[in-house]
Structure 1
Amino acid sequence: MDFEIPQELKDFLVGVRHFRERELMPLEHEFLINGDWDLKTRLELEAKGRQAGFWALDVPEEDGGQGMDEFAMCLVAEELYKHPAMFEFGGSPEPALYLCSEEQKKRFYYPVINGERKSAYAFTEPDAGSDFARIKTSAVRDGDEWVINGRKTFISHVDRADFLILFASTNPGAGSRGVTCFLVDKDTPGFEVSRPIPTMGDAWTPYELTFENCRVPHENVLGEVDKGFAIADHQLTHGRVRIAAYQLGMAQRSLDLAIEWAKQRTTWGKPIATRQAIQWMIADSYVELEAARLLVYKAAMTYDKEGGRNEAFAAKLYATEMAQRVTDRCLQIFGGLGYTKELPIQSFYRQIRVWRIGHGTAEVHRWMIARSLLGLKSDA
């Protein structure tokens, strides 16, 4: 597998780096102190990115985008996530929205590309995370409408969303094979954002959602009834590859900072870079980061060609655990300074912790990888 980056993409990534340095870095201290930016700031940065040509990067050219593949998108994510704000360029629909009908595309897909609407997707429930068969939010058909009741939790980006990509059970007896995907406008009666959920991470406040006799027209069913599992599986595979790429940026920035500090900081008359304990931390971090990078790049290229479900599991599993170890070592190299909000390493460390849980826990990933290799059935 050839990981050579085309010169045109290298040049594009230089532009992404310049954008990060010019637009994001001056706001880093404010972000570290407050733990986030307000929505106005994020939207202004998105607009600046659009003006600079960073918009709808992975959208097909025939739909008004730049047609970048997942490998290119992972390189972009790696660069942007060297900043702790988890900032991404706009205009890219969630993968599920590519399944919209022509009529749905007019209301949901194209408005996202045009920057007129934003989405959030809602899988997780109080009793259903990776086990999709345990979804209890129900959708019952009533004529040309579906009546939705239930709760969702840990749902990201609800504060900035105009509509939801919602998964609900339409055939409870069929488990995960009886789930349907719905497009739900945020102002639909019966849908309520119950509360924000405070977390230990920066730039991530998920929400709890409630649906009480929420009526959604049948025309808002995405794909086929009872076929939502395949949509969710594809969405999650895409997300795992992208999450794995995030870890590369966070780990690389942390390691770069730690190396420079080790050269400057002296103890007993010598830079700590001369101490074997520090050298081993740096060496181990470099080796693990390089190994993760190869896994992520392979997963992205495989995704572009054939889906790469197992490769996505492996990349996210290894990259998230790698980044946790690397940021921990780098924080240790800085000592007390690393624990302060003067540096982004502590923010990276806390953010990475959620990525070892979201989109499937590390334990579930190990189970899924082993199950695939052993040829075990889904109920094993």
Structure 2
Amino acid sequence: MDFTIPSELKDLVESVRQFREKALMPVEHDFLINGKLDLDVRKSLENKAREQGFWALDVPEEFGGQGLGFLGKCLVTEELYKHPAMFEFGGSPESSMYYTNEEQKQRYFFPIIEGKRKSCYAFTEPDTGSDFARIRTVARRDGDNWVINGRKTFISHVDRADFVILYATTDPEAGSRGVTCFLVDKGTPGFELSRPIPTMGDDWEPYELTFNDCVVPDANRLGELGQGWEIANFQLTRGRAKIAACQLGVAQRCIDLAVEWAKQRVTWGKPIATRQAVQWMLADSEVELEAARMLVYRAAWMADEGLPIRNEAFAAKLYASEMAQRVTDRCLQIFGGLGYSREVPIQSFYRQVRVWRIGHGTSEIHRWMIARNMLGLSSRDA
């Protein structure tokens, strides 16, 4: 395996870096003080990115995208996530949307690529997270429709979305094999955004969703009956690798800031960069970041080669998310009291990375899955 980044991807990342510095950096201070980007500001940035060609990057050319591979996607994500607003380029459907049929592509898939619609997805329930087999949101067949009842919680970006990719059980006795996926438009009677859930993260306020006799046509069923686990597995596996790439950008930015500060900050007549305690914190951070980078790049390369990456995605996200937590903590310590202030992005990164040891599967679940794979045990219903 060759870990050399192709020159065309290096050029793309350089272009993304310039966009980040010219378009995103001017809004960083306001973001740090307010803890969010207003939707109109975010839309303006998306339009600016689109004008510069940063749109539908990873969408296959056959669907009107630019055909960027998964390694390229991870490299772009890494660069963008050096900014605390966690900004992403638009026009890229969620992985599960590639299961849409031809008619659904016209109503949902292509409008996302065109920038006319946005989606979010809903797995988690009050009593169900990674234990997919215990999903309690039920979809009951009624002629050509499905009647959905249940609750979802901690659903991200639903406030910005036009429809939800919903996972519900159509056969409660079948465990994960009875879960089916549906496309549910916001505004559908019986579908409500019950409440936002305040969190410690910036610009992230997930919602609780309620479905009370929500009628969805069978034409909005995504994939086959009972195919929900397969669709979710594809969605989550790609998502975990992408989340791991996000942590690379966060850690790199924090290390860069800490190195610069260590050279400037003087105590007892010398820069703190001369202190062994600071040097070791920086060295440990750099080594861990490089180790995480290799895990992420390898998983992305394998995906581009058409190889399965479920276990590699578990490993990459597990290590990268815990690495980012340690690195942000060390870098904040190097900054001292200033690092705790909202005027420095490290405190925002520190709070935001904490969720990724939970979201898309906890670190503990990842360790369990990795061990089960090592032991040759089935994880189908996990």
- 2:100 & 2:30 partners in 1: Cα distance? 39
Determine whether 1:313 maps to 2:309.
no
TM-aligned CA deviation for residue 9 of structure 1 = 1.3
Provide the residue aligned with 1:337 in structure 2. Answer: 338
Which secondary structure does the structure 1 equivalent of 2:167 belong to?
strand
Which secondary structure does the structure 2 equivalent of 1:97 belong to?
helix
Provide the residue aligned with 1:297 in structure 2. Answer: 297
- 1:165 & 1:43 partners in 2: Cα distance? 22
What amino acid sits opposite 1:285 in the alignment? S
Provide the residue aligned with 2:376 in structure 1. Answer: 375
- 2:40 & 2:100 partners in 1: Cα distance? 29
Provide the residue aligned with 1:102 in structure 2. Answer: 102
The equivalences for 1:53-68 within 5 A come to: 53-68=53-68
TM-aligned CA deviation for residue 303 of structure 1 = 2.2
Which secondary structure does the structure 2 equivalent of 1:54 belong to?
coil
TM-aligned CA deviation for residue 10 of structure 1 = 1.0
Which secondary structure does the structure 1 equivalent of 2:159 belong to?
helix
Determine whether 1:79 maps to 2:79.
yes
Determine whether 1:260 maps to 2:260.
yes
TM-aligned CA deviation for residue 253 of structure 1 = 0.3
Compare 363-372 and 299-308 and name the one that shifted more. Answer: 299-308
Which secondary structure does the structure 2 equivalent of 1:325 belong to?
helix
- 1:3 & 1:51 partners in 2: Cα distance? 31
- 1:377 & 1:322 partners in 2: Cα distance? 28
TM-aligned CA deviation for residue 301 of structure 1 = 1.3
Provide the residue aligned with 2:89 in structure 1. Answer: 89
- 1:86 & 1:254 partners in 2: Cα distance? 14
- 1:362 & 1:251 partners in 2: Cα distance? 18
What amino acid sits opposite 1:349 in the alignment? Y
- 1:241 & 1:233 partners in 2: Cα distance? 12
Determine whether 1:14 maps to 2:34.
no
Q: How many residues are paired up?
A: 380
Which secondary structure does the structure 1 equivalent of 2:107 belong to?
helix
**Residues 283-305 of structure 1, C-alpha deviations (whole Å, 9 max, x = no match):** 10000000000001011112222
Which secondary structure does the structure 1 equivalent of 2:90 belong to?
coil
TM-aligned CA deviation for residue 8 of structure 1 = 1.3
The equivalences for 1:111-126 within 5 A come to: 111-126=111-126
Output the TM-score relative to the length of structure 2: 0.98
**Residues 174-222 of structure 1, C-alpha deviations (whole Å, 9 max, x = no match):** 0111000001111111100101000000121100000000000001111
The equivalences for 1:177-216 within 5 A come to: 177-216=177-216
8 Å contact 1:119–1:162 — kept in the other structure?
yes
Provide the residue aligned with 1:165 in structure 2. Answer: 165
Name segments (4+ residues, structure 1) moved above 4 Å. Answer: none
Which secondary structure does the structure 2 equivalent of 1:29 belong to?
helix
- 1:96 & 1:270 partners in 2: Cα distance? 55
What amino acid sits opposite 2:284 in the alignment? D
8 Å contact 1:247–1:319 — kept in the other structure?
yes
What amino acid sits opposite 2:330 in the alignment? R
Provide the residue aligned with 2:3 in structure 1. Answer: 3
Provide the residue aligned with 2:38 in structure 1. Answer: 38
TM-aligned CA deviation for residue 5 of structure 1 = 1.2
- 1:115 & 1:265 partners in 2: Cα distance? 46
What amino acid sits opposite 1:323 in the alignment? A
- 1:221 & 1:94 partners in 2: Cα distance? 16
TM-aligned CA deviation for residue 377 of structure 1 = 2.8
TM-aligned CA deviation for residue 32 of structure 1 = 0.4
- In structure 2, stretches of 5+ residues that fail to align are none
**Residues 231-274 of structure 1, C-alpha deviations (whole Å, 9 max, x = no match):** 00110001000000000000000000000111111111011011
Which secondary structure does the structure 1 equivalent of 2:46 belong to?
helix
The equivalences for 1:198-237 within 5 A come to: 198-237=198-237
8 Å contact 1:167–1:179 — kept in the other structure?
yes
8 Å contact 1:155–1:208 — kept in the other structure?
yes
Provide the residue aligned with 1:47 in structure 2. Answer: 47
TM-aligned CA deviation for residue 2 of structure 1 = 1.1
8 Å contact 1:303–1:309 — kept in the other structure?
no
What amino acid sits opposite 1:90 in the alignment? G
Between the aligned residues of both structures, percent identity stands at 73
Provide the residue aligned with 1:251 in structure 2. Answer: 251
- 2:129 & 2:33 partners in 1: Cα distance? 32
- 2:377 & 2:104 partners in 1: Cα distance? 38
Which secondary structure does the structure 2 equivalent of 1:363 belong to?
helix
- In structure 1, stretches of 5+ residues that fail to align are none
What amino acid sits opposite 2:33 in the alignment? I
Provide the residue aligned with 2:129 in structure 1. Answer: 129
